[in-house]
Amino acid sequence: MSIAIIDYGAGNLRSVEKAFQKVGVDAEITKDKNTIRGAKGIVFPGVGSFDSAISELRTQSLEGVVEEAIALGKPFLGICLGMQHLFESSEEGKAKGLAILPGSVKKFAFAGSPWASLSIPHMGWNRLLFKHKAPIFEGIEEGTMFYFAHSYYAVPKDEMIVATRTDYGIEFVSAVWKDNIYGIQFHPEKSGEAGLKLLKNFGNLCH
């Protein structure tokens, strides 16, 4: 198997699996540790709340498997909440993140600002502004639109890991990249051809 999609009991995993299959990438939803260890790439498509999702990952003793895969240099893709879990903490809850990347996760707060009319969560299509173009964006142009659905955003301590930013009242970090670690705040499985291209690119990294 090429890619293991970590099953921690949340929804939308099947749509991610189907998107990979659509572009000819072998991907499987699994919670089996040996299957994850044998995979050539790992995807963590988080949905739900920060605390409940990370708690379920730890309840199933999958945290160490994720850390091991990353340490071995396997391509890792965190989607939406899965990206946020790469950091140390979140304003959404009290649980500790995986702390693989230094930084925290903050909530959009527009009250009293010129952007007070912007709705939270940030939902719908928005464009990416490249800062450090990661391999998963190969063949994807600056300004390409992707689909977002989130109220929180990552604030990395290291600006060098910021791959893209997106403007929603503020310029927030919409993708990160460090070595074999990729995190994206948007949903590629809901982003049409551009999202499929990104997933295909990730699949190509998993040899």
Q: Which of 85, 122, 150, 187 is catalytic?
A: 187
Catalytic status, residue 92: no
Q: C-alpha angle 25/194/197, rounded to 5°?
A: 25
Q: Which of 17, 122, 150, 189 is catalytic?
A: 189
Rounded to 5 degrees, φ, ψ at 24 are 80, 20
Helices (H), 23-111: 33-38, 50-59, 63-71, 81-84
The 3 state secondary structure assigned to 34-51 is HHHHHCCEEEEEECCCHH
β-sheet bridge partners, residue 89: 104
The residue with tokens 């409940």 is 52
Catalytic status, residue 63: no
Q: Which of 17, 80, 85, 206 is catalytic?
A: 80
Token pair listed for 191? 């982003």
Catalytic status, residue 187: yes
Please identify every residue annotated as catalytic.
80, 187, 189
